[in-house]
Amino acid sequence: MAQPQADTAVELPHHPSPRAAGCPFDPPPALRSLPSDQPLSRVRIWDGSSPWLVTRYEQLRRLLGDPRVSADATLPGYPHRTPATKASDETRRTFLTMDDPDHARLRRMVTAPFAVRKMEALRPAVQRIVDDLIDAMLAGPKPVDLVQEFALPVPSLVICELLGVPYADHDFFQRNTKVVVDRTSTPEQVLDCLGTLTDYLEELLSEKAARPADDLLSVLATEPVATGEMTRRRAAETGVLLLGAGHETTANMIALGTLALLLNPDQLALLRDAENPGTAAGAVEELLRYLTIAHSGRRRVALEDIELDGQTIRAGEGLIFANDIANRDPEAFAGDADRLDLTRDSRRHVAFGFGVHQCLGQPLARVELQVVYGTLYSRIPTLALATDVDRLEFKHQGLVYGVHELPVTW
Amino acid sequence: MRVEVDQPRCVASGQCVLLAPEVFDQDDDGIVELLESDPEPRHHDDVRESAAVCPAAAIRLTER
Ligand code: SF4
């Protein structure tokens, strides 16, 4: 088979592509309908280059687990998302854009607090946070914007708990994080609040060094900072990084997941009426699969020529991994993969990515989402959308998909 | 069934611990620890699932 050339005049589908009008959940039709007889297709991106798009589940897992496929964003051919991410990826290097062994060494410094057992220990605190927010919502006026009143505060308060921010400071903390994630904030406001939060965490770190407790800041203060492996400022910045990473993702899963359930009442009923506590856990995996909010694709570049089912990826060519499309691959998921089916076994989804860069916060995300999905709808069984679906604004641009506002009533 | 784990490969995603807590655990750094290299048959499906989902391919199975 002839290889499609990067510089031929053929019209290549654009990445990203628009979703179908009227359907907020399905991946872009132009990318889904790429020829299925070949494992890879070329797409055109913003800088005019034409990296490969990987849409099939099996090939995606094979390539993301292949050491010849690099996450190094400084290599030529790496398919950057936007001019802005190109600039920041090339200057601010974190383990996200490194290969092993550097990646493994740096990542391991921050994985420990997210171990499954530690996250399970946090479950009662998450439950308390969720219950308190629901109490406040029920006591107030309606309709409310679920994003502002519930979806954003949950991860914000949970990360306070995890970091060990004193309860008295929750308000301050939440106020600042709200500005950071609010789309109407100016860049100056965001930087200002990030600076305020970093200053605050830095001070808290010195208190924790003197009186360590059972929380993440105490671990940072008494280990890497105490041994000089990390400066206190660096540790405070790490705290702010965790804050940002865990925020947008979880908040969008809560709001967009709720919308998906409201539009699929039979599925919502399964959750609301569930007696088995495992139901929420299965539902979380299916919603992660179905929504795949990290919808802009994982980015990589080939280090060597790679043969894949009759096609050749040349060294230096870029690769975009469409997790959202792979999570709808009919060969990977039983039944109609385009249906939201909470009874499906979805545990093999790739919503957290795949390979060594797989999301490190996923045990925390799971606990938060399980508590939310397992509580919100049974406590507010009459929860309903307070607007037309057509009037909702979705986050088409950006790294994480979601809904800007979700007016609800009950 | 015989289970082996390759700790240097593990990325601490915790998937195995969630699926088969009787067989896998995580150490203080979140890295996989094998509790049972010869798991009971009732855990075999969960162990196979763990090996299939492990994003780092750090779990090796020998079926016998
Ligand atoms: S699933 Fe794999 S990467 Fe994740 S903790 Fe277990 S062995 Fe490590």
For the stretch A73-106, pLDDT in tens is 999 999 998 887 787 777 767 788 888 888 887 7
Per the structure, the complete domain to which residue A291 belongs is given by: 29-409
Q: Which two tokens stand for residue A191?
A: 């930087």
- Cross-chain residue pair A363–B53, CB shorter than 8 Å: no
Amino acid at A280: A
pLDDT at A3: 47
Using alpha carbons, select from A98, A108, A373, A383 the residue that is nearest to residue A223. A108
Question: Which residues make beta-bridge pairs with B34?
Answer: B24
Instruction: Give residue-wise pLDDT tens across range A166-220.
Output: 878 888 888 888 787 777 778 788 888 889 999 999 999 999 999 999 888 888 8
Instruction: Give residue-wise pLDDT tens across range A52-77.
Output: 999 999 999 999 999 999 999 999 99
- Give A115's contacts (C-beta < 8 A, 6+ positions apart): A363, B12, B14, B17, B26, B28, B30
**Mean pLDDT over all residues of chain A?**
89
- Cross-chain residue pair B30–A353, CB shorter than 8 Å: no
Cβ–ligand 1 contact at B20 (below 6 Å): no
For residue B53, give the ligand 1 atom closest to its CA.
Answer: 1
Strand A144-145 with A407-409, pairing: antiparallel
Closest chain A residue to B12, measured at CA: A111
Does the pLDDT at position A229 exceed 90? no
φ/ψ of A320, rounded to 5, equals: -120, 130
Closest chain A residue to B28, measured at CA: A112
Do the beta carbons of residue A345 and residue A259 sit within 8 Å? no
- Give A74's contacts (C-beta < 8 A, 6+ positions apart): A89, A90, A93, A97
Distance A356 CA to ligand 1 centre (A): 10
CA Rg value for chain B: 10
Angle at which helix A232-262 crosses helix A170-181, to 10 degrees, equals: 70
Residue among A107, A348, A357 whose CB faces B53 most closely: A348
Termini Cα distance of chain B: 6
Strand B24-26 with B32-34, pairing: antiparallel
pLDDT confidence bin for A2, thresholds 50/70/90: very low
Does the pLDDT at position B41 exceed 70? yes
- Whether A8 maps to a domain, the answer reads no
Cβ–ligand 1 contact at B58 (below 6 Å): yes
Which residue's CA is the closest to the ligand 1 atom numbered 8? B10
- Whether A285 maps to a domain, the answer reads yes
Does the pLDDT at position A230 exceed 70? yes
Using alpha carbons, select from A64, A119, A147 the residue that is nearest to residue A408. A147
B25, B31, B54: which to mutate for ligand 1, most atoms within 8 A of CB? B54
- Cross-chain residue pair A117–B26, CB shorter than 8 Å: yes
| CA A32, chain centre distance (Å) | 21
Those residues of chain A whose CB sits closer than 8 Å to some CB in chain B are: 65, 104, 107-108, 111-112, 114-117, 119, 347-348, 352-360, 362-363, 366
- Whether A14 maps to a domain, the answer reads no
Whole-angstrom CA distances from A224 to A108, A227, A361, B9 are: 12, 5, 20, 23
- Cross-chain residue pair B30–A366, CB shorter than 8 Å: no
| CA A387, chain centre distance (Å) | 26
- Cross-chain residue pair B13–A115, CB shorter than 8 Å: no
pLDDT at A92: 67
Do the beta carbons of residue A155 and residue A250 sit within 8 Å? yes
d(CA A287, CA A281): 10
Does the pLDDT at position A333 exceed 70? yes
Per-residue DSSP letter, A81: S
Do the beta carbons of residue B46 and residue B11 sit within 8 Å? no
CA distance A358 to chain B (A): 7
- Whether A19 maps to a domain, the answer reads no
Q: How many CB pairs under 8 A join A and B?
A: 67
Residue range B2-62 in CATH 3.40.630.30: no
Q: Which two tokens stand for residue A27?
A: 């991946």
Which of A176-180, B11-15, B54-58 shows the lowest per-residue confidence on average (mean pLDDT)?
A176-180
Closest chain B residue to A61, measured at CA: B55
Distance B16 CA to ligand 1 centre (A): 6
- Cross-chain residue pair A362–B13, CB shorter than 8 Å: yes
Cβ–ligand 1 contact at B12 (below 6 Å): yes
| CA A237, chain centre distance (Å) | 20
- Whether A263 maps to a domain, the answer reads yes
- Higher pLDDT: A109 or A49? It is A49
- Mean pLDDT of all residues in A315-329: 96
- Mean pLDDT of all residues in A124-132: 97
pLDDT at A4: 47
d(CA A67, CA A63): 8
Which residue's CA is the closest to the ligand 1 atom numbered 2? B54
Q: Which two tokens stand for residue A209?
A: 């060094």
- Give B36's contacts (C-beta < 8 A, 6+ positions apart): B3, B22, B23, B43
Per-residue DSSP letter, B9: G
Q: Which two tokens stand for residue A18?
A: 């628009």
pLDDT confidence bin for A111, thresholds 50/70/90: confident
For residue B15, give the ligand 1 atom closest to its CA.
Answer: 1
- Mean pLDDT of all residues in A385-390: 96
- Whether A24 maps to a domain, the answer reads no
How many separate domains does chain A show? 1
CA distance B14 to chain A (A): 6
- Whether A194 maps to a domain, the answer reads yes
Does the pLDDT at position A283 exceed 80? yes
Using alpha carbons, select from B30, B14, B1 the residue that is nearest to residue A112. B30
- Cross-chain residue pair A362–B29, CB shorter than 8 Å: no
No. of helices (H) and no. of strands (E), chain B: 2, 4
Does the pLDDT at position B61 exceed 70? yes
Does the pLDDT at position A15 exceed 60? yes
CATH number, position A221: 1.10.630.10
d(CA A332, CA A160): 38
Residue among A115, A352, A358 whose CB faces B30 most closely: A115
